[in-house]
Amino acid sequence: MARASKRTKTVAASRAFPQLKKSPSGIAGFDEITGGGLPTGRPTIVCGGPGCGKTMFAMEFLIRGATEFGEPGVLMTFEETGEEMSRNVESLGFNVQSLVDKKKLFLDYVRIEPSEIQETGEYDLEGLFVRLQHAVESVGAKRVVLDTVEAIFSGFGNAGMLRAEIRRVFRWLKDHGLTTVITAERGERTLTRYGLEEYVSDCVVSLDHRVNDQISTRRMRIVKYRGSSHGTDEYPFLIDKKGFSVLPLSSIRLDHKVSKDRISSGIKDLDVMLEGRGFYKGSSILVSGTSGSGKSTLAAHFANESCRSGKRALYIAFEESSAQVTRNMRSVGINLGQYIKNGLLEFHAWRPSQHGLEMHLLRIHDLVDEFRPQVVIVDPITNLISANLNEVHAMLMRLLDFLKDRQITAMFTTLTANRGAEEQTEVGISSLTDTWILLRDLELNGERNRCLYVLKSRGMAHSNQIREFALSRMGVRLLPAYVGSGTVYTGSARLAQEARERAESLREQQQLEEKRKEFSVKRNVLESQIAALRSKLSSGESEFARLTRQRNERQQRLALDREEMGKIRGVTRDNQGVNS
């Protein structure tokens, strides 16, 4: 298993650099920046000042080789005894003694006591070779560590001979195909005090431990790696209870899984602005704003909602203690205490100045590994900013990548200065995040009102509106702010504007009423005129009827008269026509 993984790693490395075989060190991050590890069968110098972690690097290389890659190793120490060394690394969880018992590791402490030694004539260091050979043979070693071989310079007087012998040792190690780590103290102007780098030209790693603003950071740099490309930056690294880890920044690939699932922000109105469904699961959300704009409240809503729906949330606070946040959030109707009690919410508060950046990052890593949250909130990241912005940027990028890789939805708050562009976060991580919510104070008419808008949200049709962000005892509400002619009215200005609008509409209504009355009068007049005309019309009609009737009566009478006359004359109606 270990061998298989080793093979795949070397194959991958040899594809990129066909001429050079590499042995994985097993040190987190180091194999990434060197493209596979240390040069196989060649010596590597690890140099640095006292306390920079040289020995730890070498030990981990050896122990991981023995436990993970099936390569037994030899540790030859010149400064500390084997027992001291095993005790040193025991704190990292390595059991050296059991490896020695299993013949996977061979320890040899070379004690040099100048006061005991009298030099008389010529000698060489053949004893060292005898010991090395014996050690390598007794465990079948593939890896060798010489921990501060320079110590021999203090034990023997003949420097010329020593140099020749050290050169011979390196030659010997190379000839035997041993992947070797040689630690060396940093010199005044040279990488190593005794110029060992002159003899070992394959790979030189420089470690550094410096203190900036009372905060220490460890750095690693690959000074040289013959026949191989490698990261040339200074990489922060740290040594903690899990061992040595380098934090590579540039080798992170962008190949996270993505989710279509959504997660509510805890504020209904905000969810509505985000297609009504909230954030994407596993995305990163940046909440930026000036002080007092409600960033923490927003974060607390999110934490509250996550816990309410049964998700585990990790809340890392750099400004307030757990108790303080809990109390403060109760004022907006959020009870975080209950979730802390039932274990869904884990609250961690520590000072940003407590550690260096790497340590913060690692601490968050550890917390995430232990607690396995679905949601992580860091409030605020601004406080992590130390002297070097690039470092913060790099660290946050790594943190984001780490969280994304685990499909953890992350919310960061960041403080923006009151002046200057608000669309620019101080740490410049906006480009790293998927959703950016901007909280903004608008000062107008002697008051200060909070506004919220979604500046960006990758992969969704988010609202473009600016909403007024109102805090109440019932939590956050987003009021639709009055938007007109490029101006946003909030607070009393909004109320005034609304009043103005109401007055306007009232006036319109009154005008309408007047018009209506006016018209009804007009209608009355017209209607009466119509009535008069109609009565005129009807009287005309009755006249006409009377005349018609009179005419009919008259004609009837004429007919009757004619009949009477005919009767009198004896003429029938039938021949009437003949006669006439």
Partner 1 sequence: MRNSRVKAKPPKTEATGNATDVVLELRLYVAGQTPKSLIALKNLKKICEEHLQGRYRLHVIDLVKTPQLAQDDQILAIPTLVRNLPQPIRKIIGDLSDTQRVLVGLDLRSQAK
Q: Which residues make up the interface to partner 1 (CB under 8 A)?
A: 108, 110-112, 116-131, 133-135, 152, 155-156
> Beta strand 447-457 with 467-472: parallel, antiparallel or unpaired?
antiparallel
Please state the closest distance from residue 153 (CB atom) to partner 1, in A.
12
- Closest distance between partner 1 and the C-beta of residue 107, in Å? 9
Q: Residues for the chain: how many in total? A: 580
- Of 110 and 415, which has the nearer Cβ to partner 1? 110
How many Cα atoms sit within 13 Å of 558 on the Cβ side?
A: 6
Instruction: Give me the least distance between CB of 178 and partner 1, in Å please.
Output: 17
Reading the block at residue 298, the tokens are 């927003």
Tracing tokens 């130390």 back to the chain, one arrives at 386
- Nearest CA to 19 out of 228, 284, 240 is that of 228
Least gap, CB of 71 to partner 1 (angstroms) = 22
Question: Shortest Cβ distance from residue 152 to partner 1 (Å)?
Answer: 7
Cα angle value 555/559/565 (rounded, 5°): 140
Nearer to partner 1, 122 or 255 (CB): 122
- On whether the CB atoms of residues 222 and 213 are closer than 8 A, the answer is no
Task: Closer to partner 1 by CB, 36 or 82: give it.
Answer: 82
CB of 50 to partner 1, least distance (A): 23
Query: Quick one: 194 or 237, whose CB is closer to partner 1?
Result: 194
CA 366 to chain centre: 17
Task: Compute the distance between CA of residue 321 and CA of residue 103 in angstroms, rounded to an integer.
Answer: 51
- Write down the least CB distance from residue 78 to partner 1, Å: 9
Q: How many CB atoms lie within 10 A of CB 116?
A: 8
In the bound complex, what is the minimum distance in angstroms from residue 397's beta carbon to partner 1?
A: 49
Query: Smallest distance from the beta carbon of 199 to partner 1, in angstroms?
Result: 18
Q: What value, to the nearest 5°, has the Cα angle with vertex 77 and ends 73 and 80?
A: 130
Shortest Å, Cβ 137 to partner 1: 8
SS3 call for 5: helix
Decide: 144 and 66 in contact? Cβ < 8 Å: no
Q: How far is CA 16 from CA 9, 10, 36, 227, 331, in A?
A: 11, 10, 10, 11, 59
Q: Is-contact 301 334, C-beta < 8 A?
A: yes
Of residues 159 and 512, the one with the C-beta less far from partner 1: 159
Is residue 144 a contact partner of residue 178, using CB atoms and an 8 Å limit? yes
Nearer to partner 1, 124 or 504 (CB): 124
CB 219 within 8 A of CB 236: yes
Instruction: Extract the tokens encoding 349.
Output: 């508060």
3-class DSSP assignment, residue 458: coil
| C-alpha distances in Å from residue 396, one per residue of 223, 439, 457 | 26, 21, 19
Cα 3 to chain centroid, rounded: 36
Considering the complex, state which of residue 17 and residue 156 has its C-beta at the smaller distance from partner 1: 156
Helix segments in 237-356, DSSP class H: 268-273, 295-308, 322-330, 337-341
Shorter beta-carbon distance to partner 1: residue 103 or 134 = 134
Instruction: Give the shortest CB-224-to-partner 1 separation in angstroms.
Output: 29
169: closest CA among 126, 220, 111, 214?
Answer: 126
